[in-house]
Amino acid sequence: PHMNERLQKQTTLVTIETTKAFESFRYELSIRETVKGKSLHYKILGLKAPRLNLPSTGTAQYIREYEDARGSYRIVVEDLDGTTGECEVRITQKQRTLVKAPKHSFIEFIVA
């Protein structure tokens, strides 16, 4: 669980991050998100230049915050070439649990 100080409530964060660290800029991942009930689909479209032009190193990230997420969710991440990785996450007020994850995928799902 993540405590959103502005809202004064617990939220759930989904972070998609590259394994590659970039030396000149900390890019943002361009993602098209589709939500259908308890299914979240993230299509990776590419990289976006950072909003600030200050040099920084690090991975490219996409971060999305959800309020009132409870129950089991199917999460699908689709790569540029159409390859998908899928997992199932169970969310309760006190914890997030990875219920099902692919054995061989281009993506690693981590629940914290």
pTM reported for the whole predicted model: 0.86
DSSP-assigned beta bridge partners for residue 98: 89
CB-based contact 83:65 (threshold 8 Å): no
pLDDT of residue 1: 64
Q: How far apart are CA 37 and CA 73, in angstroms?
A: 9
Residues 14-27 have pLDDT tens digits of 999 988 888 887 88
Model confidence at 38, pLDDT cuts 50, 70, 90, reads: very high
Q: In what order do the strands lie in the sheet with 96-100?
A: 2-4, 9-22, 58-67, 28-36, 39-48, 71-78, 84-91, 96-100
